[in-house]
């Protein structure tokens, strides 16, 4: 049986080179992965999130190695991460990312892309235009998540926005919102990360007292359960708080200000890859490369994860063997 190399989590993170190469099911495609990204969700999985065991990873760019639709074979692609049932009411609305029977690449019952090969439904594939480099294409998943805000909350162009959190997702949300809002401020804790954020007039701050309250929209992307408290204080009455963090809130949080100020809470998760690709093409000067701290070969995956946990690392990439 042919085997491949992969990053495995089976109670411990490890590199393995004896994993069977997956065979695509009818309607699915096998991808020869070129680059894969490490994100916060991957790091939470190795701490026990979702109880996932198997091949990690859901951010990738690669070439289609095998597919029963020959039009895809050989094409450079990215792919949406949720494998939906295709028959439920959510799927009928084009919202397979909310399908109750979905599996998710490298997160929930579907082996991921930190491997030489991975498989996903062919309907999830998006061809990558020639002008978009691999290093930019591999960021499509988090960029699409940032674009989801604009799908859920269309802007008039006059809004003042505050984004909380200077991690990769917070910076991407600030960049996306800067294409549609009048004023965007990114509030973080790490000057070295904030230094990478300025684009299209984005303001940055490390002290909450330097951010004027009364924002029309506050995006909470701190990765901390307490970010909602700060968001409530910065959002104006009848403004909107967008929640991007997927962490539990420790202890008790006083939600009275949301009622008193009649603030709207909007949960926001995965986005459409088509929107992310359109954003890349419309704004080729969006400085996505600033987010990449370094690249590691797949066999050094443990070292790569250790680097990803360091405070200044925004995005760590894994390179597959040619």
Same-domain status, 86 and 206: no
274 within a domain of the structure (yes/no): no
* pLDDT per position as a tens digit, 119-170: 999 999 999 999 999 999 999 999 999 999 999 999 999 999 999 999 999 9
Q: Are residues 16 and 83 in the same domain?
A: yes
Full-model pTM: 0.94
pLDDT score of 312: 84
Per-residue pLDDT, 250: 60
| Claim to verify: residue 200 and residue 304 sit in the same structural domain | no
Rounded distance between C-alpha atoms, residue 83 and residue 104, angstroms: 6
Residue 260 lies in domain: 145-267
Is residue 160 within 8 A of residue 215, CB to CB? The reply is: yes
- For residues 153 and 121, membership in a common domain is answered with no
pLDDT value for 253: 81
Q: What is the 3-state secondary structure (H, E, C) of 234-289?
A: HEEEEEEEEECCCCCCCCCCCCHHHHHCCCEEEECCCCCHHHHHHHHHHCCCCCHH
- In DSSP terms, 37 is beta-bridged to 59, 317
Are 10 and 74 within one domain?
Answer: yes
CATH assignment at residue 241: 3.40.50.720
* CATH number of domain containing 7: 3.90.180.10
Mean pLDDT, each 10-residue run in order, the chain (322 residues): 93 96 97 96 89 96 97 97 94 91 96 98 97 97 97 97 96 98 97 96 96 97 86 97 78 87 95 96 97 97 96 92 69
Say if 137 falls within a structural domain. no
Same domain, 150 and 172: yes
Report yes or no on 75 lying in a domain: yes
Co-location of 7 and 124 in the same domain? yes
Domain count across the chain: 2
Task: State residue 206's pLDDT score.
Answer: 97
For residue 152, what pLDDT is reported? 96
Indicate whether 277 belongs to any domain: no
pLDDT at res. 252:
76
Tell whether 78 and 100 lie within a shared domain. Answer: yes
- Does residue 272 lie within any of the structural domains? no
The confidence score (pLDDT) of residue 1 equals 58
């Amino acid at each position: 049986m042919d085997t491949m190399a992969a990053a495995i989590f089976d109670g411990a993170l490890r590199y393995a080179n004896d994993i069977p190469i997956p065979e695509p099911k009818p309607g699915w495609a096998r991808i020869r992965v070129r680059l894969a990204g490490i994100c916060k969700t991957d790091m939470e999985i190795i701490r026990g999130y979702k109880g996932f065991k198997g091949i990690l990873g859901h951010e990738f760019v690669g070439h289609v190695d095998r597919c029963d639709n020959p039009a895809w074979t050989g094409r450079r692609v990215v792919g949406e991460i949720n494998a939906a049932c295709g028959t439920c009411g959510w799927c009928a609305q084009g919202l397979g990312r909310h399908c109750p029977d979905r599996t998710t690449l490298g997160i929930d019952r579907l082996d991921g892309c930190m491997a030489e090969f991975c498989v996903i439904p062919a309907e999830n594939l998006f061809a990558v235009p020639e002008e978009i480099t691999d290093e930019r294409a591999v960021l499509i998943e988090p960029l699409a998540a940032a674009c989801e805000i604009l799908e859920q909350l269309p802007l008039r162009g006059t809004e003042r926005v505050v984004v909380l959190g200077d991690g990769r997702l917070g910076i991407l949300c600030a960049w996306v919102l800067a294409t549609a809002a009048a004023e965007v401020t990114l509030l973080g804790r790490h000057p070295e990360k904030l230094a990478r954020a300025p684009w299209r007039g984005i303001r940055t701050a490390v002290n909450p007292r330097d951010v004027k309250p009364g924002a029309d929209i506050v995006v909470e992307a701190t990765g901390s359960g307490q970010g909602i408290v700060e968001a409530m204080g910065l959002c104006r009455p009848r403004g909107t708080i967008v929640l991007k963090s997927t962490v539990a809130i420790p202890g008790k949080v006083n939600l009275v200000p949301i009622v008193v100020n009649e603030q709207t809470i909007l949960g926001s998760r995965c986005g459409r890859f088509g929107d992310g690709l359109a954003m890349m093409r419309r704004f080729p000067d969006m400085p996505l490369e600033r987010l990449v701290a370094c690249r590691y070969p797949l066999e050094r995956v443990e070292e790569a994860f250790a680097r990803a946990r360091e405070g200044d690392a925004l995005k760590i990439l894994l390179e597959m063997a040619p």
